[in-house]
Structure formats: structure tokens, C-alpha cells
Amino acid sequence: MIIKPMIRNNICINSHPIGCESGVKRQIARVKKLFLNKQKPEHTPTLALIIGCSTGYGLASRIAAAFGYGAVTIGLSLEKPASETKPGTPGFYNNRAFDTQAAEAGLVSFTMNRDAFARETKTRAIQSVRESAAKAGIPPRLDLVIYSLASPVRTDPATGVMYKSAIKPIGAPYSGKTVDMMTGKLFTASVESATEEETAATVKVMGGEDWELWMDALENEDMLSPSARTVAYTYIGPELSWAIYKNGTIGMAKQDLERACTAINRRFREKNGADTKKRAFVSVNKALVTRASVVIPIIPFYVSCLFKVMKDKGLHEDCIGQIVRLYQERLYTPEAAADPDKTPVDEAGRIRIDDLEMRDDVQAETLALMDTITEENVWSKSDIVGFKHDFLEAHGFDVEGVDYDVDAPLMI
Ligand SMILES: NC(=O)c1ccc[n+]([C@@H]2O[C@H](COP(=O)([O-])OP(=O)(O)OC[C@H]3O[C@@H](n4cnc5c(N)ncnc54)[C@H](O)[C@@H]3O)[C@@H](O)[C@H]2O)c1
């Protein structure tokens, strides 16, 4: 089947199997290059569980753990497989490509397509961690658990009630400039303010409760190594996005993630003693083009300008660049790998790999640039071209070296 991107309102409803496979191979090649000649500290991950492993930050976290440190990885995500007539979701192909590449490199990996929020998934994941560790001949103790879910819904396993997340402001409606990446059309997107129920539901879906449940399940089954690290991802961003992000429904969920981080660390200490080396972190990451981020008003416009400024300054990073820096310069510096208290964090205890995005000069120049952008100059003055490329690439399109005019197998 010849597959061309089908995009409307910054949402792409299909994917390209060969393009996704090539994209994963390219990410692996980048990781290998970034780890070349790097000295490895004594304690780096050998067995990692990546919750939300198929795209964006989770995929990068898995690739960097496996191809950077040689870790055995168990990945969990929820993706639609291909059918006779339709390609699967990008993550479906990414997972396949990852497992194939890992096997070729002699790395043990196992990927599960299941709802991360379900109790049974946790039980099955624990079983898979044991089996994968046995296959690799290593102890079944995870030293890294990445929590990188971006989900629209969650069914609470305790009550069976399904909650839907919403990206909305709280207290007042929000209007923000945004850009249609296919046409370059600039327009104002408005979002009504959230009800209390919508805010509570978003916290249920994207907050920290499920992360806590995962860590409790793993701790109770003795699946964590004595120096296990667990990391969940968040975003803060510039003040102009706060009404819709940091102070909106999703921001409340992210606040809850930080609450959960403190609770997990407390339970680590209660169970393992005050000097335990097990540690949970929230990492504040950079705004990037992933399937989750492009539908938030203001973000596509902001990111198109941010990328232009960061690329001009030689500071731009993609998911791989971000996660490799998270590992090499935060979690696994020789000092931090041996002692989690030596992990570089901000005053609130969060890891900051959004530091380059948030630099004063980067922010000032991005905001100034945003003020000058019109429909006439958006293609030349902003990096909407780079934004569009990253978006297409996340669905397997616009990947260098892929011939989109030849039949692609759906790989059912
Ligand atoms: N993209 C950004 O700009 C950005 C910036 C900072 C932080 N973050 C955070 O990083 C995390 C990951 O975001 P992303 O942009 O990489 O998203 P993404 O959409 O690329 O990935 C989400 C992952 O979650 C999985 N998933 C969703 N629902 C699931 C379920 N019920 N069960 C199992 N797996 C499920 C998907 O399969 C996928 O692997 C989020 O917490 C997000 O808030 C993103």
C-alpha cells in the first residue's frame, strides 16, 4: 500500500511502517554515537522497565537505556496494531523495530501492548521482568523504572470508574495563538475553563496515583534493586503557556506527580531504611514535538519559534538528546550513580533538563520572535519547517532515505 500522511488540525491519523522502522534505527544510531567513548560509571541500568515505551520521551528512554548502557528492557505501551486495510499506530511499528534491533544487537527486550493502569498489567509486567532477567542471566531487580505515559483516559482499578483527561485552563477561558503546521495559517485557539470534575479527572489520569501503584507493586514483589531509580516526566514552560499548562488541568496533574514522587521516596525510606539508595525523581523536560504535545494551543506556535532560536544558538535537542543528557549528566554521573543525593536537582528536588529552553536569553529571544511572526513570514522566520518535519517523522513520514512512492507492507 502507498501510504501518505493524513493530517487535519495538527492530528495525523495514519503512519508509515517503514518510516517508523527507519526512525527507530536513526534514534539508535544517534544514541550509539552519543555514548561513543563515554566513560561508564560503575552503576548504570542493567534492567529497565519503561512505562509508555513506544513513542516520544519513553521510546528515547528505552533506546538510550538499551543501546547506551546495554540494559535489558521491558517496555509497556498501548498501541493499535495494523489491520488488513489500515496501518497500525506509530508506536506499534516503533516497538517492533525496537525489539528487532535489540535482538540483532544481542540485547534482551520484551514489549507488552496493554493498559498500564490495569492491575493485571502490573502482575504481567512483573512476570515479564522475571522472565526477561532469567533469559539474560541477571537478577530480576529493576534498577530503572521510567514512567512516561500520556493518556487521554484511565479506568481506576479500584472502582472501575473511567476518567477522561482534558487540557483546559482553570478559572477563566484561554485564548492562545497557534499555527496549523501544514498550511502555516495562524489563528487563535480558545478553550473554555475546566469544571472541577474535569480537573479532578485529569489528575486521576495524568497525576501520580498510577505511578505510586506501580512502585508499590514492584516494591512489594521485591523487584527493585537496592539503588533503583524511577523517573516521571513533567513540563513547566514559559509564563505565556501557564494558563493552559502549568496552572491548568494538566498542571494540576503534574503537581500531583510531584506529590507522588515525595510519597514514593517516603515509602522507599520506610521500607528500606533512611539511607536507602532507591530514589524517585520528577524530571522537567523540554517542549518537543510529540503526538501528545501538538494539540495544546500556543505550544505549536511557541515551539516553532523556540526551535528557531535554539537551533541558531546550537542548543537544540530532540527526545534522544534530552534523555541522553538526563542519563549522562543527571542520573548516571559517577557521583549520582553511586549516591542519588548527588543527582543535580533544583530547589524543589526536580531534575531540570529544560534548563536550555528556560535560559533567559532563549526565552527573551523566543518571545520577541513570536511577536514578529505573521502568515507572510512564518515559513522563513520561525522553524515551522522543523516542527512539521518532527511531527511527520513521529508518524514515520519525511524520514530521510525512505521511498514513499513504493508499496509499504502493513506488517500485520
Ligand atoms: N512532549 C513534550 O513536549 C513533553 C515535555 C515535557 C514532558 N513531557 C511528558 O513526557 C511524558 C510522555 O509524553 P510524550 O510527549 O513522550 O507522549 P507520547 O504520546 O509520545 O507517548 C505516550 C506513551 O504512553 C503510552 N500510553 C498511553 N496510554 C497508555 C495506557 N493506558 N497504557 C499503556 N501505555 C499507554 C503510549 O502508548 C506511548 O508510549 C508525559 O508525561 C508528558 O507530559 C512531554
Q: 32-90, pLDDT tens digit by residue?
A: 999 998 888 888 999 999 999 999 999 999 999 999 999 999 999 999 999 988 899 99
Instruction: Tell me, using a 6 A CB cutoff, whether residue 233 lines ligand 1.
Output: yes
Q: Which residue of 12, 15, 73, 78 sits with most ligand 1 atoms within 8 Å of its CB, as the best mutation to test the pocket?
A: 78
Task: Give the separation between CA 266 and CA 57, rounded to whole angstroms.
Answer: 26
Tens-place pLDDT, residues 12-23: 999 999 999 999
- Its pTM stands at 0.97
* Distance of CA 189 from the midpoint of ligand 1 (Å): 23
Task: Give the separation between CA 243 and CA 259, rounded to whole angstroms.
Answer: 21
Which ligand 1 atom is nearest residue 394's CA?
A: 20
Alpha carbon 318 to its chain's center: 11
Residue with cell 530532540: 318
User: So what's the pLDDT on residue 58?
Assistant: 98
Residues marked as catalytic: 245
- Band (311; pLDDT cuts 50, 70, 90): very high
User: So what's the pLDDT on residue 39?
Assistant: 83
- In this prediction, what percent of the chain has a pLDDT beyond 70? 100
Nearest CA to ligand 1 atom 34: 77
Tens-place pLDDT, residues 161-212: 999 999 999 999 999 888 998 899 999 989 999 999 999 999 999 999 999 9
* The residue type at 333: T
* Distance of CA 236 from the midpoint of ligand 1 (Å): 15
Q: Which residue of 55, 301, 303, 391 sits with most ligand 1 atoms within 8 Å of its CB, as the best mutation to test the pocket?
A: 55
Annotated domain spans of the chain: 7-393
CATH architecture of 7-393: 3-Layer(aba) Sandwich (3.40)
Average pLDDT, the chain: 96
Task: Give the separation between CA 147 and CA 215, rounded to whole angstroms.
Answer: 10
pLDDT at 409 over 90: no
